[in-house]
Amino acid sequence: MRSVVAAVLLLPIVPVLACVGDDPGGVTGGLDGGDSVSEGGPPVSDGEGGADSGAEGGVVCPSGLTDCNGDGVCDVALASDPENCGVCGRSCGGTTCSAGACLPKEIRGGLTEPQSLAVNTTSVIWARNDALESCAKTGCSGDPAVIAKDFVLWEGSPRKMFATDGHVSWLARPTAATSRGHLYRCEVTGCVQAVPASLEEAGFGGLVVANSTTFFRFEVSGSLYEGPIDGSAPSTYNPMAYSETNYSYAVDDAHLVWFNRGEAVYNNRGVYVCPLPCSKTPTRILAQGRHVAVRSGVVYASRDDDDSNPTASEVFRCDVDGCGGSGTNLTIAKEGVITDILADDTSVYWLVRGNVGNSSGAVRACSLPDCKGGPRTLASDQAQPVAIAQDADFVYWANRGTGALNTGSIQRVRK
The reported pLDDT for the residue numbered 176 is 83
Q: How far, in Å, CA of 14 to CA of 4, rounded? A: 20
The reported pLDDT for the residue numbered 201 is 87
| Amino acid symbol at 342 | L
Q: What is the dihedral of CA 319, 320, 323, 324, to 10 degrees?
A: 180
Count of Cβ atoms closer than 10 Å to residue 393 Cβ: 12
The reported pLDDT for the residue numbered 59 is 79
- Residue 240 has φ and ψ, to the nearest 5°, of -80, -20
Radius of gyration of the chain (CA): 24
Chunked mean pLDDT (size 10), the chain, 415 residues: 37 37 36 30 34 51 92 95 96 96 96 95 93 94 92 83 95 86 92 81 87 91 87 88 74 94 70 92 91 97 75 92 93 93 97 93 97 96 97 97 94 97
Count of Cβ atoms closer than 10 Å to residue 150 Cβ: 12
Cα dihedral sign for 31, 54, 79, 136? negative
The reported pLDDT for the residue numbered 85 is 97
The reported pLDDT for the residue numbered 54 is 38
The reported pLDDT for the residue numbered 155 is 74
Q: Which domains does the chain have, with CATH numbers?
A: 1-103 (no CATH), 105-414 (2.120.10.30)
Closest CA to 225 of 247, 245, 203: 203
Q: How far, in Å, CA of 326 to CA of 320, rounded? A: 13
Q: What is the SS3 assignment for the chain? A: CHHHHHHHHHCCCECCCCCCCCCCCCCCCCECCECCCCCCCCCEECCCCCCEECHHHCEEECCCCECCCCCCCCCECCCCCCCCCCCCCCCCCCCCEECCEECCEEEEEEECCCCEEEECCCEEEEEECCEEEEEECCCCCCCCEEEEECCECCCCCCCCEEECCCEEEEEEECCCCCCCEEEEEEECCCCCCCCCCCCEEEECCCEEEECCCEEEEEECCCEEEEEECCCCCCCEEECCCCCCCEEEEEECCCEEEEEECCCCCCCCCEEEEEECCCCCCCEEEECCCCCEEEECCEEEEEECCCCCCCCECEEEEEECCCCCECCEECCCCCCECEEEEEECCCEEEEEECCCCCCCCEEEEEEECCCCCCCCEEEEEEECCEEEEEECCCEEEEEECCCCCCCCEEEEEEEC
Contact 268, 246 (CB under 8 A): no
The reported pLDDT for the residue numbered 50 is 35
| Amino acid symbol at 299 | V
β-pairing verdict for 167-172 and 161-163? antiparallel
The reported pLDDT for the residue numbered 153 is 86
Its pTM stands at 0.84
Q: How far, in Å, CA of 167 to CA of 184, rounded? A: 10
